[in-house]
A and B are shown apart, each in its own frame.
Chain A
Amino acid sequence: DTEVTQTPKHLVMGMTNKKSLKCEQHMGHRAMYWYKQKAKKPPELMFVYSYEKLSINESVPSRFSPECPNSSLLNLHLHALQPEDSALYLCASSRSAADTEAFFGQGTRLTVV
């Protein structure tokens, strides 16, 4: 199993909603990442978890709240988002934060209305 699975694939939410994005991998990877990708732009790093601990937060607004309940799962909790937060949210994992190869999920296409 070399997959990073993200759910849901698509999400439409209102600005007052609370929702969560989920990411799962069963490759035994100990580093997991959230990236945000706007249309026609490269991915931008949001958060890095290393051994289930948050190691990097790239000055992301608090309306995005990551959580790593165990080594296989990574969540991104969303609350009070703005329309400009609409984007493709990509999860990735690697053996460790220093490992060369990162595997990306298919992404969750988020639309905030």
Chain B
Amino acid sequence: GEDVEQSLFLSVREGDSSVINCTYTDSSSTYLYWYKQEPGAGLQLLTYIFSNMDMKQDQRLTVLLNKKDKHLSLRIADTQTGDSAIYFCAESAGGGADGLTFGKGTHLIIQP
């Protein structure tokens, strides 16, 4: 079956880089996503990566994919207090939102 694993908490100092890790088991995963959820809010798609890519960068966000190890990471440079949220890793075999499998989410805590 499909499984997406993330650690539940990550604490970083303001201004440092945050690296949130995710592992998945479905070898047919085609698209891998990072969603951000602030308290009491819906999910915001941050970025996604196609399985034939190793890296994708978008401003402060860098996504690294190791397909061999089925490991995905999200690096947030210069972490700010507004980055405090839960970050969900998700995968999809077909690319559609109907096939999304979410991890349990990593709660990013920012220390001043």
Contact = CB atoms under 8 A, between A and B. Distances in A.
Interface stretch (B35-43, B57-65, B67-75, B77-85): B35-43
Interface residues of A, number: 28
Interface in B8-30: none
B95 A99 contact: yes
Contacts of A106: 41-42
Contacts of A104: 35, 42-45
B45 A98 contact: no
Contact of A102 (B88, B94, B100, B104): B100
Given A42-B88, A42-B105, A43-B102, A102 B42 contact: no
Interface in A13-54: 31, 33, 40-43, 45, 48
Given A90-B43, A104-B44, A107-B42, A42 B104 contact: yes
B43 A45 contact: no
Interface in A68-112: 90, 92, 94, 96-107, 109
B96 A94 contact: yes
B97 A31 contact: yes
Please give me the 4 A-B residue pairs with the lowest Cβ-Cβ distance, nearest first. A102-B97, A42-B102, A104-B43, A104-B42
Given A4-B42, A99-B97, A101-B48, 7 more contacts: A40-B105, A41-B104, A42-B88, A42-B104, A43-B100, A48-B98, A102-B100
